[in-house]
């Protein structure tokens, strides 16, 4: 499995930004109130990011040879997939949080400051989930078998 590319994360963030902004615009244009993510969403995103890094830590120890017990390769693959999903989800929700924040800040009448801060907190929580997913992905990466092969692959 290949590591997540930055272009993939940027694409998901841009899609999330468009969904967040245009979704809020459609809600308000339809006469509904703007959707504001609760602070519990940000806390949950941060918690998930921390858990992903924690479950990937034993894989990192096994890859470095610091762990005496063998790690099940299927478990390592599942954790790598979880890490990749976390980074992509973090990028998408980051875009949504930024889109909602931009929507709220561009209104002629600003909503209460707490509302804007909840949207910003969601974006921060999503960014931490994204980072946690990338760190966990790095933990699950095997070193190259032969250092000479790695040098020739980049040439």
Task: Please report, for the chain, the start and end positions of each structural domain, with discontinuous segments joined by +.
Answer: 6-143
**Positive or negative CA dihedral for 144, 52, 78, 19?**
negative
**Contact between residue 62 and residue 71 where contact means Cβ atoms under 8 Å apart:** yes
Q: Would you tell me the crossing angle of helices 73-105 and 39-64 to the nearest 10 degrees?
A: 150
| Ordered per-residue pLDDT tens for the chain, 155 residues | 778 899 999 999 999 999 999 999 999 999 988 888 999 999 999 999 999 999 999 888 887 777 667 778 888 889 999 999 999 999 999 999 999 999 999 988 878 888 899 999 999 999 999 999 999 999 888 766 655 655 555 44
What lies within 8 Å, CB to CB, of 134 at 6+ separation is 4, 83, 87
- Cα 135–140–141 angle (5° rounding)? 100
Among candidate residues 117, 138, 130, 123, the one with its CA nearest the CA of residue 48:
130
- Cα 10–89–33 angle (5° rounding)? 95
| Helical H segments across the chain, by residue range | 6-29, 39-64, 73-105, 113-139, 147-154
pTM for this entry: 0.86
CA distance 23 to 14: 14
């Amino acid at each position: 499995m290949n590591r997540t590319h930055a272009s993939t994360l940027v694409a998901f963030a841009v899609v999330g930004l468009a969904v967040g902004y245009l979704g809020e615009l459609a809600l308000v244009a339809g006469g509904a109130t703007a959707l504001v993510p609760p602070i519990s969403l940000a806390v949950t995103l941060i918690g998930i990011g921390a858990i992903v890094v924690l479950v990937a830590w034993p894989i990192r120890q096994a890859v470095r040879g610091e762990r005496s017990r063998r790690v099940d390769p299927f478990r390592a693959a599942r954790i790598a997939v979880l890490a990749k999903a976390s980074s992509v989800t973090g990028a998408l929700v980051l875009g949504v949080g930024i889109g909602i924040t931009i929507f709220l800040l561009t209104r002629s009448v600003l909503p209460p400051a707490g509302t804007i801060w909840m949207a910003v907190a969601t974006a921060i929580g999503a960014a931490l989930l994204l980072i946690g997913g990338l760190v966990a992905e790095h933990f699950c990466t095997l070193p190259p078998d032969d250092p000479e092969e790695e040098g020739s692959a980049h040439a």
